[in-house]
Amino acid sequence: MTALNNLPAYYDDIELSFEEAWSVVKAGVTNRHNPAHMPAVGTVDETGGPQLRIMVLRDVSRESRTLRFHTDARSAKADQLRQKNATSVLIYDHPAKIQIRLSGEARLVLEGDIADAAWDSSTPFARRCYMAEAAPGSSSIKPSSGLPDWIEGRQPEEDQLAEYRSNFAAMIVDVTTIEWLYLANAGHRRARWHFDMAKDSWTGGWLVP
Ligand SMILES: Cc1cc2nc3c(=O)[nH]c(=O)nc-3n(C[C@H](O)[C@H](O)[C@H](O)COP(=O)(O)O)c2cc1C
């Protein structure tokens, strides 16, 4: 039999697995090549069905248990969140062989410091998509970017972007559950943590993978 070693320190350590889970998620904010940079984000539509899409992870706060994404306030996902705020975020870090499922509730923040800072932190080019004349997902009789003709192929100036600021929303996910799956030939490891509001702390334990 071949020995199955070289296991990470967190393999059989629930506390270290929790630390590693946050570290995998956080790495997606700073490195655009990191697998956690573009998670699949799930919401629930008006029929109760799941809806998934890729979104760029903009910020993570372990302290406040939040993830920040940016989106168009007119999008289908924004409408879905206004009806039902249940949200799930899925990350697979292939090199690390770690899958992380974060779930909780999401809120759209259109005004105030958080939304303003999020808007300001994006490049003019990235914010150009909020200049779309019709809501994202509207049908179009011809192939189209949805942008006004005059801005096609150009980078907008700050003053040109200003009037479209109301289309922009920060989407803040308040994470209440984190599920961890680490793949290993020696035996997979799975764990789940839930935030206990009454105790103001995370509680968790191992699961059968
Ligand atoms: C690589 C990539 C990154 C994306 N990033 C975002 C994003 O940060 N925010 C966003 O709203 N949509 C983003 N999208 C588009 C969404 O996947 C989706 O198509 C769009 O938001 C419409 O989704 P909805 O109809 O569910 O609202 C991205 C798509 C790709 C392929």
pLDDT, tens digit (0-9, with 9 covering 90-100), for 1-37: 555 578 999 999 999 999 999 999 999 999 999 999 9
Q: Ligand 1 center to residue 55 CA distance, Å? A: 5
- Average of pLDDT values for 160-167? 96
- Number of domains into which the chain is organized: 1
Which residues form the pocket of ligand 1, taking CB atoms under 6 Å from any ligand atom?
Answer: 38, 51, 53-56, 69-72, 75-77, 136-137
Q: What is the largest CA-CA distance in the chain?
A: 68
What ranges make up the beta strands (E) of 110-186? 168-182
Give yes or no for a contact between 10 and 97, defined as CB atoms under 8 angstroms apart.
no
Residue 64 — pLDDT band, cuts 50, 70, 90?
Answer: very high
Give yes or no for a contact between 207 and 30, defined as CB atoms under 8 angstroms apart.
no
Look up residue 104 and give its DSSP letter.
Answer: E
| Residue 87 belongs to a domain | yes
Q: Ligand 1 center to residue 146 CA distance, Å? A: 15
Write out the residue range of the structural domain in which residue 29 sits: 14-124+168-207
- Average of pLDDT values for 103-110? 98
> pLDDT at position 6, please?
86
| Residue 61 belongs to a domain | yes
pTM greater than the 0.95 cutoff: yes
Q: In the Cβ-directed half-sphere of 164, how many Cα atoms lie within 13 Å?
A: 25
> pLDDT at position 46, please?
97
| Residue 76 belongs to a domain | yes
- Average of pLDDT values for 97-119? 98
| Residue 98 belongs to a domain | yes
| Residue 53 belongs to a domain | yes
- Average of pLDDT values for 183-208? 97
**Residue 41 predicted with pLDDT over 90:** yes
| Residue 144 belongs to a domain | no
| Residue 158 belongs to a domain | no
CA distance 51 to 114: 26
> pLDDT at position 4, please?
58
Mark residue 175 as left, alpha or beta (left: phi above 0; alpha: psi -120 to 50; beta: remaining).
Answer: beta
Q: Ligand 1 center to residue 9 CA distance, Å? A: 36
| Residue 150 belongs to a domain | no
CATH code, domain with 38: 2.30.110.10
- Average of pLDDT values for 138-154? 94
Average pLDDT over all residues of the chain: 96
**Residue 85 predicted with pLDDT over 80:** yes
